[in-house]
C-alpha cells in the first residue's frame, strides 16, 4: 500500500539499485547499473514532493518537468510520463545515464535529506518506453519544403535534427565519422552508454525522415560550397580540440605514450562494436597508466584502462580535493562543488589532487616512462573568482608511467576547417573560443548559418547540448517560417505568436 502522495518523502529513504560489483563489471564493457524492482522505483518517485517551486526543473538545463513525470509515475501512468519527458528532452535515455544531474543538487528535498533520484527515474521511464514500444517515429504531417543541413551529429545536432524534422523541414545531417552520435557514440564508453541505445535513437530519427550522411567531413569529403544549397545550416560540431601541454612549457610532453583521451577512448568503443581500429592501437593493458584530469573524460579513461587490464592507475587533478559537504558560499540550490566518486573511480586506481605536472621523462627511446609532479597550494578566490596556485617546495615526485592519457578538457571547436572557409566569427568563452552566436537566435556571423552546442558555448554536458540543439532548432524554424510551435525551455508555445503573430 503506497502512502499519501504528499507524504512519500517522510516514509521512504533514497534508494538506488546496487551496481554490478566492480570486480565483475571490470570483466566486460557492458552497462553495469541495475534497476530496482518496479514498485520500489515508484517509491522513489513518491519521494518527490511536487513542489510549489520545483527548483529541480530550474536546475535542469532542459527544464525537464520533473515533478510532473514523478507524479505520473506515482499514478502508474508511465506512458504519459514519457510523453512529458519527451516534451522537454528528445533523448531522456542519454541524460538518464550520463548526466551529472544538476537537478538533484537543486532538489528541494536535498535541503535537508538526500535528493530524489531524478536521474534514475528519468532513465527508468525512458527505458520502459523503449521496452514497451512507446517510442515510435513521429513524422511531420506536412513538409515545409525548406531544407536544413546540420553539421555534426552529437547530442546538439541530433536534437536539432529531430526538432527541425518534426517541424516539417527536410534535414540532412553530415557526420565525419562512420556512425552518427558524436561523443555519444565514440566519446562515452559503452559501459556508461550502450551504443545500441544511441543507434536505436538514430534509427528513430531516420524513420522520421532525417537523412544522415556519414564519413562526410564538410570541407574535406563534402565541399563547403555545397552548404549553400540549404535554406539553413546548423553547425553542431562540438568542441573537440583537446587541451594538451602544448605551449605550456612542460618538457617531454611530445613523447610517445602521451595521448589525448579522445585518441584512446573511441578505439575501445570500436572494438566493442566489432569495428576495426585503423590507427595505431592504444591499449592500457599491462601498463602503468596515468590519467591527467579529474573530470568525466578522465574517469572514462580510468574505467576503460582498468577494463583493459592496466598494471596501475593514477588519476591526477590540478585542483584541490573538493569538500565533502557544501560550503557556506555554495548554498543550495546551486550546483554543489563537493567531492564526488564516479563509478569508474569505484573500480580502482588512485586519485591525487593539487598536482601539477612539471615534466615527462623519456625512457631513452622517445617513450614516456615517468611524470615529474609537484603539489600545489591554492589561494582563496580573488574578486574574479580566480584562485592563485603556488607550488609547494619539497613535494616533487616522480610517477612511473607507460601510458599517459590527457583528459584536461577541450578548448574549442576545430576551426581550421570549413569554419574558417566560411569565415565565421569566433568569440572567446570560458575555455577558449567558440563560434560566435547568441542564445536567442543562434545566428552566426553568416546569414542563414546557425550554431549550437559545444561549438558555440564550449565544452559542456550532454544535457546542455540537447538544450542548445532544441533551442537552436526553434530559432531556425522561426527564421525559416516566421513562427514556431516547437517547444523550447521557457516557451509555452504562445510566445512567438504573442510576440510576432498577434492576430490583427
Least spacing, CB of residue 166 vs other proteins, in Å: 5
Tell me the C-alpha distance between 291 and 347, whole Å: 15
Give the x/- contact pattern for other proteins in 398-437, rule: CB under 8 A.
----------------------------------------
C-alpha radius of gyration, the chain, whole number: 23
- Binding residue for other proteins, selected from 63, 96, 129, 453, defined by CB under 8 A: 63
Least spacing, CB of residue 310 vs other proteins, in Å: 43
Cα 487 from chain centroid? 21
- Binding residue for other proteins, selected from 14, 275, 372, 489, defined by CB under 8 A: 489
Q: Which of 226, 116, 228, 210 has the alpha carbon at shortest distance from 157?
A: 210
Buried b (16+ CB within 10 A) or exposed e, 62-95: bbbbbbbbbbbbbeeebebbbebbbebbbbbbbb
Give the residue with the Cβ less far from other proteins, 66 or 437. 66
Tell me the C-alpha distance between 93 and 124, whole Å: 8
Does residue 324 touch other proteins according to CB under 8 A?
no
Q: Which of 457, 301, 320 has the alpha carbon at shortest distance from 380?
A: 320
Give the residue with the Cβ less far from other proteins, 109 or 188. 109
Give the x/- contact pattern for other proteins in 130-169, rule: CB under 8 A.
--------x-xxx-x------------------x--xxx-
The stretch among 27-35, 128-136, 376-384, 484-492 that binds other proteins (CB under 8 A) is: 484-492
| Alpha-carbon distance values, 13 to 41, 114, 121, 199, 283 (Å) | 12, 8, 15, 35, 42
Give the residue with the Cβ less far from other proteins, 71 or 93. 71
| C-alpha cell of residue 208 | 522520421
Least spacing, CB of residue 144 vs other proteins, in Å: 7
- Binding residue for other proteins, selected from 33, 35, 87, 312, defined by CB under 8 A: 87
Give the x/- contact pattern for other proteins in 289-318, rule: CB under 8 A.
------------------------------
In a 3-state reduction of DSSP, which class is residue 397? Answer: strand
Give the residue with the Cβ less far from other proteins, 109 or 236. 109
Tell me the C-alpha distance between 466 and 489, whole Å: 11
Element holding 45 (H helix, E strand): helix 38-46
Residues 26-55 that bind other proteins (CB under 8 A): 49, 51-55
Give the x/- contact pattern for other proteins in 90-129, rule: CB under 8 A.
----------------x-xx-xxx----------------
**Are the CB atoms for 52 and 83 separated by under 8 Å?**
no
- Binding residue for other proteins, selected from 77, 208, 217, 414, defined by CB under 8 A: 77
| Alpha-carbon distance values, 175 to 161, 178, 456 (Å) | 12, 7, 18
CA angle 136, 139, 144 (to 5 degrees): 165
* Cis omega (within 30 of 0) for bond into 333: yes
- Binding residue for other proteins, selected from 32, 42, 43, 65, defined by CB under 8 A: 65
Residues 2-21 that bind other proteins (CB under 8 A): 6-7, 9-10
Least spacing, CB of residue 347 vs other proteins, in Å: 36
Tell me the C-alpha distance between 337 and 247, whole Å: 30
Tell me the C-alpha distance between 237 and 107, whole Å: 32
Does residue 484 touch other proteins according to CB under 8 A?
yes
Least spacing, CB of residue 450 vs other proteins, in Å: 17
Residues 331-390 that bind other proteins (CB under 8 A): 331-334
Task: Summarize as ranges the residues that interact with other proteins (CB under 8 A).
Answer: 6-7, 9-10, 49, 51-55, 57-59, 63, 65, 68, 71, 75, 77, 80, 83, 87, 106, 108-109, 111-113, 138, 140-142, 144, 163, 166-168, 328-329, 331-334, 477, 481, 483-487, 489-495, 497-498, 501-504
Amino acid at each position: 500500500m503506497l502512502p499519501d502522495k504528499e507524504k512519500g518523502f517522510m516514509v521512504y529513504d533514497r534508494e538506488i539499485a546496487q551496481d554490478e560489483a566492480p570486480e565483475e563489471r571490470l570483466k566486460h564493457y557492458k552497462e553495469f547499473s541495475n534497476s530496482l524492482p518496479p514498485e520500489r522505483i515508484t517509491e522513489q518517485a513518491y519521494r518527490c514532493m511536487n513542489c510549489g517551486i520545483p527548483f529541480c526543473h530550474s536546475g535542469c538545463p532542459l527544464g525537464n518537468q520533473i515533478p510532473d513525470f514523478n507524479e505520473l509515475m506515482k499514478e502508474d501512468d508511465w506512458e504519459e510520463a514519457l510523453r512529458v519527458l519527451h516534451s522537454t528532452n528528445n533523448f531522456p535515455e542519454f541524460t538518464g545515464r550520463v548526466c551529472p544531474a544538476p537537478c538533484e543538487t537543486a532538489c528541494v528535498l536535498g535541503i535537508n535529506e538526500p535528493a530524489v533520484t531524478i536521474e534514475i527515474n528519468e532513465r527508468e521511464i525512458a527505458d520502459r518506453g523503449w521496452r514497451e514500444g512507446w517510442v515510435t517515429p513521429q513524422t511531420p504531417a506536412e513538409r515545409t519544403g525548406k531544407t536544413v543541413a546540420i553539421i555534426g551529429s552529437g547530442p546538439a545536432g541530433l536534437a536539432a535534427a529531430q526538432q527541425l524534422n518534426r517541424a516539417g523541414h527536410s534535414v540532412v545531417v553530415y557526420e565525419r565519422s562512420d556512425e552518427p552520435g558524436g561523443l555519444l557514440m565514440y566519446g562515452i564508453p559503452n559501459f556508461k552508454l550502450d551504443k545500441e541505445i544511441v543507434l536505436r535513437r538514430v534509427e528513430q530519427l531516420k524513420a522520421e525522415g532525417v537523412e544522415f550522411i556519414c564519413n562526410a567531413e564538410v570541407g574535406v569529403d563534402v565541399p563547403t560550397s555545397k552548404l549553400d544549397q540549404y535554406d539553413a545550416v546548423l553547425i553542431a560540431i562540438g568542441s573537440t580540440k583537446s587541451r594538451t601541454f602544448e605551449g605550456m612549457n612542460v618538457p617531454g610532453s611530445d613523447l610517445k605514450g602521451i595521448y589525448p583521451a579522445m585518441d584512446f577512448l573511441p578505439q575501445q568503443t570500436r572494438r566493442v562494436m566489432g569495428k576495426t581500429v585503423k590507427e595505431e592501437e592504444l591499449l592500457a593493458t599491462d601498463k602503468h597508466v596515468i590519467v591527467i584530469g579529474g573530470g568525466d573524460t578522465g574517469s572514462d579513461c580510468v574505467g576503460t584502462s582498468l577494463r583493459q587490464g592496466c598494471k596501475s592507475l593514477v588519476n591526477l587533478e590540478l585542483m584541490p580535493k573538493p569538500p565533502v559537504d557544501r560550503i557556506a558560499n555554495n548554498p543550495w540550490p546551486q550546483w554543489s562543488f563537493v567531492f564526488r566518486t564516479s563509478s569508474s573511480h569505484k573500480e580502482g586506481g588512485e586519485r591525487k589532487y593539487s598536482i601539477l605536472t612539471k615534466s615527462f621523462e623519456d625512457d631513452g627511446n622517445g617513450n614516456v616512462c615517468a611524470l615529474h609532479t609537484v603539489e600545489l597550494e591554492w589561494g582563496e578566490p580573488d574578486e574574479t573568482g580566480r584562485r592563485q596556485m603556488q607550488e609547494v617546495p619539497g613535494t616533487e615526485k616522480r610517477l612511473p608511467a607507460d601510458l599517459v592519457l590527457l583528459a584536461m578538457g577541450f578548448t574549442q571547436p576545430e576551426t581550421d576547417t570549413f569554419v574558417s572557409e566560411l569565415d565565421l566569427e569566433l568569440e572567446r568563452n570560458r575555455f577558449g573560443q567558440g563560434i560566435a552566436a547568441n542564445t536567442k537566435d543562434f545566428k552566426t556571423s553568416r546569414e542563414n548559418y546557425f550554431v549550437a552546442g559545444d561549438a558555440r558555448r564550449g565544452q559542456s554536458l550532454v544535457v546542455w547540448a540537447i538544450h542548445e540543439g532544441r533551442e537552436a532548432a526553434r530559432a531556425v524554424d522561426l527564421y525559416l517560417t516566421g513562427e514556431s510551435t516547437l517547444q523550447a525551455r521557457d516557451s509555452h508555445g504562445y510566445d512567438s505568436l504573442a510576440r510576432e503573430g498577434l492576430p490583427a
